[in-house]
């Protein structure tokens, strides 16, 4: 059985992938945890995780799934070129399922994996407006979107995400293993805009940092 790789980075969210990883381990699926280097990584929840592998040590021929957890401080992760270089290795690997939740699809987009592909996630609309590589016209107000080997999900749909990944990998799972699921993901539940001054100020400063340190993200890719 091939392995599942979990990609971790600064302030990643364990909660959004814990249902999935718990079930995969319980089903006997081998798993590796990888990061840009071997340094400890602190999660959004305050835990410290020690990666087993650096990205350079991951053999893509040994894995059939890559999981990207959500990120609370994605601009800091986005400017780390090692994240994007690792993801770029998956461009020619349609045999590997890429499962990305919450705002982590921003990494896929920056690495060129979402060009012309529909996706979803837990994004403020202002972020989609301000980052041209996000191709806002391809954003969908859905809890989960699957196109080819790429699966994206809204962070609140972490249970549905877990089930969808397990089914995509060929596992049979019991009905509602995590309890009743949300029956109706309406657009209102999936549409976010910045309301507080704290959010607006954070994004203003983060966007200025990205424009200053990563101008390539704002170049016309056409």
> In this predicted structure, what is the pLDDT of residue 222?
58
pTM to 2 decimal places: 0.90
E strand intervals along 69-165: 97-101, 144-147, 150-153
Mean per-residue pLDDT of the chain: 93
Average of pLDDT values for 157-174?
Answer: 91
| Three-class SS state of 11 | coil
Q: How confident is the model at residue 179 (pLDDT cuts 50, 70, 90)?
A: low
Residue 14 near residue 69 (C-beta atoms within 8 A): yes
| Whether pLDDT at 133 is above 80 | yes
Domains of the chain: 3-218 (3.40.50.880)
User: Is the separation of the CB atoms in 127 and 148 below 8 Å?
Assistant: no
Q: What is the pLDDT of residue 191?
A: 87
- pLDDT band at residue 180 under the 50/70/90 scheme: low
User: So what's the pLDDT on residue 90?
Assistant: 98
What pLDDT is attached to residue 186?
84
Rg (alpha carbons) of the chain, rounded to whole number = 17
CA–CA gap between residue 120 and residue 118 (Å, rounded): 7
Q: How many C-beta atoms lie closer than 10 Å to residue 158's C-beta? A: 23
What's the pLDDT score for residue 190? Answer: 86
26 closest CA partner among 178, 188, 185, 132? 178
Structure tokens at 32: 């590796």
* Total count of residues recorded for the chain: 222
pLDDT in tens, 12-23: 999 999 999 999
CA 86/CA 128 separation, integer angstroms:
23
Nearest-angstrom CA–CA distance, 58 and 62: 8
pLDDT tens sequence across 23-62: 999 889 999 999 999 999 999 999 999 999 999 999 999 9
**What's residue 82's pLDDT?**
98
Q: How far is CA 114 from the centre of its chain?
A: 12
Mean pLDDT of 173-200: 80
């Amino acid at each position: 059985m091939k392995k599942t790789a979990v990609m971790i980075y600064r302030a990643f969210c364990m909660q959004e992938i814990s249902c999935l990883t718990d079930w995969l381990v319980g089903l006997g699926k081998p798993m590796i945890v990888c990061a840009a280097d071997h340094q400890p990584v602190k999660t959004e929840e305050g835990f410290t995780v020690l990666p087993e592998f650096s990205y350079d040590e991951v053999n893509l021929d040994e894995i059939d799934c890559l999981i990207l957890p959500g990120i609370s401080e994605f601009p800091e992760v986005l400017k780390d070129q090692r994240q994007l270089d690792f993801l770029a290795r998956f461009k020619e690997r349609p045999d590997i399922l890429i499962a990305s939740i919450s705002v982590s699809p921003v990494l896929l987009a920056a690495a060129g994996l979402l060009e012309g592909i529909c996706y979803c996630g837990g994004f403020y609309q202002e972020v989609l407006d301000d980052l041209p590589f996000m191709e806002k016209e391809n954003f969908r107000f859905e809890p989960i979107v699957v196109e080819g080997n790429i699966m994206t999900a809204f962070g609140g749909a972490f249970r549905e995400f877990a089930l969808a990944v397990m089914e995509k990998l060929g596992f049979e799972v019991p009905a509602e293993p995590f309890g009743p699921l949300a029956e109706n993901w309406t657009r209102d539940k999936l549409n976010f805009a910045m309301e507080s001054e704290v959010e607006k100020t954070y994004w203003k400063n983060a966007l200025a940092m990205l424009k200053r340190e990563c101008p390539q993200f704002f170049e016309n890719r056409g």
